[in-house]
Structure 1
Amino acid sequence: MALSALSLLVAVGLVVCLPYFVDVGWSDIGAQFAALDPVVVAGLVALWLAGLWAYTFVLTASLPGLSRPQAMTLNAAGSAVSNLMPFGGAAGVALTFALARSWGFRTNPIAVSTVTSGLWNVLARFLLPALGLVALLATGRVPDARVAVPALVAALALIGLVAATVTALRWDRAARITGRTADRVLRLLPHRIRPRRFVPSVSLARLRTTTAGLLRTAWPAMTAGMFAYLVLQAGLFCACLATTGAYVGLGEAVAAFALGRLLTTVVVTPGGFGISEAGTAAAMVSLGGPAGPVAAAVLLFSTFTYILEIPLGALFWSLRELVAQRPRVAGTRDNARPVRAG
């Protein structure tokens, strides 16, 4: 409890100090918010909700029988919990299990869904920085030409890692080759930093055993849902920049968006709140964005992707009985009568 309170204080402190990181005052940011057109704000809300709806396709594909309202409830409630405490992902997973069990789903399909949807999120986190680097290189905004080649190599390496992982999950021969290669690379590391009792090939085999059956049919829908979700989130970020007058170009916006999404994985604060905002604002200003509008745009974006997710999750939690529909696919339910959550 004390750790959660301290983490929230750090997050709030970072946000409060955000204007000073980019050398503007809160009055400048307040003026940007005061000038927002209600019609534009309504459009931003619609774009935000469209992104959340797109993500339900990932969840419904990973847990056959889950309805769209149920998926929206799982996503909103889990995000609300994750946004309130450090390492909140574990609490979000526990909430997912409780809700799904209350709707009659068996433990094993829930576990497989959690693993596969989590894997797709991790792969997206790897892919976003690569796309951000490529977008930055395309704009010619890399300040030092000597950095361009290493940045391109890093981007291609990340894309290759994602491609190799997906290929290994789909084909036996690719899995064997990838596993043996990872084992050899791990053995090259010094003993003091080499993970103990971790054999990549064995872990990959276990992951394939867990997810192979589901991914054989679900990966197209999961991939399409994740792609649509990220595109809509990036669109929301660009719209926030345009609304405050901070938009300087698509490449710069994509690069800053990718950095911000990557920083949300920093678990020092809940959902990386504060850290993500500071890093994103600093990146946009360094790429030529005006400081005041940039700070306002970043805070506006975080209002949707962090702050509003908390009351939205509470709302869906309170309405969870209304979305407790019978699973559509036979075999996902327990034989016994399910126990309702809280």
Structure 2
Amino acid sequence: MKKKWLQITLSALSLALAVALVVYLPQIVQSLTGKPVSWQQIGQVFGGLGAGMIALMAVVWLLSLLAYTFVLTGSLPGLTHLQALTLNAAGSAVSNLLPFGGAAGVALTFGMTRGWGFANRPIVVMTLVSGIWNTLFRFILPAVGIVALLMAGEVPNPDVARAGWVGAGSILALCAVVAAALYWDRAAVLLGRALDFLARLVRLKVHASEALHRLRKDTAEILRTRWLGLSLGMVFFLGFQWAIMVICMKAAGAYPGLAQSIAVFALSRVLTSALVTPSGAGIMETGVAALLLAFGVDAPQATATALLFGFWTYTIEIPFGGLALGAWALLRRRNGRSAAAEPPSAISKASP
């Protein structure tokens, strides 16, 4: 009971912090950058949005959700795209409302997929595979953002440029090593030995190679046969989300350039990992606004862009996910009543 009340208290505090960060975002931006901005100025930017631009944002947002269904259907054979859309929407709503909401999202995933007739092991594999692909691309994004800025010449001096290339190359090399270890046996053995050596070096009582072996054993079949579809699903999902950001920038008059938009998007996705608020809400918007200001965008336009993007990648997912979860619960209850009302003779005839 104490633990439950602690979880409720932490959740309430986390949500309150997220709301406070958004409400006081103009003051936070002004204190960080020294550039004045007010809600009245932000409102004027919002007032200039046309119906066509809002409709375009909604369409691209829906396309991003559809793209991610390919990651889930690829991770769980037999899952339909409609089921994957429902699963993603409901899971996102839970994660966006709770700090450390991933655990609650996994529990919800199990409940929904078990209700559709899937066994525990395929569900575990789906959770592992989709988690691996999300983590890999979350690591790749910062490297892509750094490379984009370097290629655009957005660096203060050659020393910083060299450090940027080294950093980006190191991140991409690490992701390549992990991907190779998941796919090839020999690479897995080498990585396992390296991880065991590092564990001994820092005196950790863990067998990293055994954990890697168990992970590969659970996910090998899916990764070997469906890696391309999983990768394309993530690429298009992130690509559509970046497109949403670009549309938000254009609509608010805050577009700083192609490379800069990629860097801002990469930062936004990294900041969603901040666990102090659900999905980094409030923290992400602050980071996006600050980076846009660093690229020379005016404060009202930068702040409006951050809020718009936060709406399409966080806020709207809560009611949408709630509707998806409600529809799933309603259909499940209706199907349960239909099965209970079906006469035994009909059930026996329908049984194989």
What one-letter code is carried by the residue in structure 2 that aligns with 1:315?
Answer: L
Asked if 1:163 corresponds to 2:176, the answer is: yes
Q: Out of 241, 255, 273, which is 1:233 matched to?
A: 241
Q: Report the Cα offset of residue 218 of structure 1.
A: 1.5
Deviations 1:33-72 (A, max 9, x none): 1110011100100000000000000000100000011000
TM-score (norm 1): 0.90
- Alignment partner, residue 111 of structure 1: 124
Deviations 1:85-141 (A, max 9, x none): 100011011000000000100010000000000110000110000001111111211
Q: Out of 225, 235, 246, which is 2:254 matched to?
A: 246
Counterpart Cα distance in 2 of 1:147 and 1:130: 14
Q: Report the Cα offset of residue 149 of structure 1.
A: 1.3
Q: Out of 77, 84, 102, which is 2:97 matched to?
A: 84
133-142 vs 75-84, which moves further: 133-142
- Alignment partner, residue 319 of structure 1: 327
Counterpart Cα distance in 1 of 2:156 and 2:253: 23
- Alignment partner, residue 150 of structure 2: 137
Q: Out of 19, 23, 40, which is 1:16 matched to?
A: 23
Counterpart Cα distance in 1 of 2:29 and 2:279: 22
TM-score (norm 2): 0.88
- Does the 8 Å contact 2:196/2:208 carry over to 1? yes
Asked if 1:208 corresponds to 2:208, the answer is: no
Q: Report the Cα offset of residue 143 of structure 1.
A: 2.5
- Does the 8 Å contact 2:199/2:206 carry over to 1? no
What one-letter code is carried by the residue in structure 1 that aligns with 2:269?
Answer: R
- Alignment partner, residue 257 of structure 1: 265
The equivalences for 1:190-205 within 5 A come to 191=203, 196-205=204-213
Counterpart Cα distance in 2 of 1:83 and 1:197: 35
Counterpart Cα distance in 2 of 1:286 and 1:145: 19
Unaligned runs of 5+ in 1: 325-336, 338-342
Counterpart Cα distance in 2 of 1:197 and 1:237: 44
Q: Out of 79, 82, 85, which is 1:66 matched to?
A: 79
CA RMSD of aligned residues (A): 1.7
Deviations 1:222-271 (A, max 9, x none): 11101100111011111110111000101111101101100101111000
Q: Report the Cα offset of residue 184 of structure 1.
A: 2.9
Q: Report the Cα offset of residue 183 of structure 1.
A: 2.8
Deviations 1:180-205 (A, max 9, x none): 2233344444x5xxxx3333322211
Q: Report the Cα offset of residue 323 of structure 1.
A: 7.7
| Structure 2 CA distance for partners of 1:186 and 1:150, relative to 1, 3 Å | farther
What one-letter code is carried by the residue in structure 2 that aligns with 1:224?
Answer: L
- Does the 8 Å contact 1:22/1:285 carry over to 2? no
Q: 2:233 is paired with a residue of what secondary structure? A: helix
Counterpart Cα distance in 2 of 1:235 and 1:15: 23
- Quick check: which has more Rg, 1 or 2? 2
- Does the 8 Å contact 2:71/2:130 carry over to 1? yes
Counterpart Cα distance in 1 of 2:201 and 2:150: 32
Deviations 1:152-205 (A, max 9, x none): 11111110111111111111111111222233344444x5xxxx3333322211
Q: 1:32 is paired with a residue of what secondary structure? A: helix
Q: 2:64 is paired with a residue of what secondary structure? A: helix
Counterpart Cα distance in 1 of 2:195 and 2:146: 25
Unaligned runs of 5+ in 2: 1-7, 31-36, 333-346, 348-352
- Alignment partner, residue 5 of structure 1: 12
Percent of aligned pairs with the same amino acid: 49
Q: 2:110 is paired with a residue of what secondary structure? A: helix
- Does the 8 Å contact 1:21/1:282 carry over to 2? no
Counterpart Cα distance in 1 of 2:309 and 2:326: 26
Q: Out of 171, 177, 192, which is 1:179 matched to?
A: 192
Counterpart Cα distance in 2 of 1:255 and 1:295: 16
Count how many residue pairs are aligned between Structure 1 and Structure 2: 321
Q: 2:328 is paired with a residue of what secondary structure? A: coil
Q: 1:320 is paired with a residue of what secondary structure? A: helix
- Alignment partner, residue 55 of structure 1: 68
Asked if 1:44 corresponds to 2:73, the answer is: no
More helix as a share of residues:
2
Q: Report the Cα offset of residue 280 of structure 1.
A: 1.4
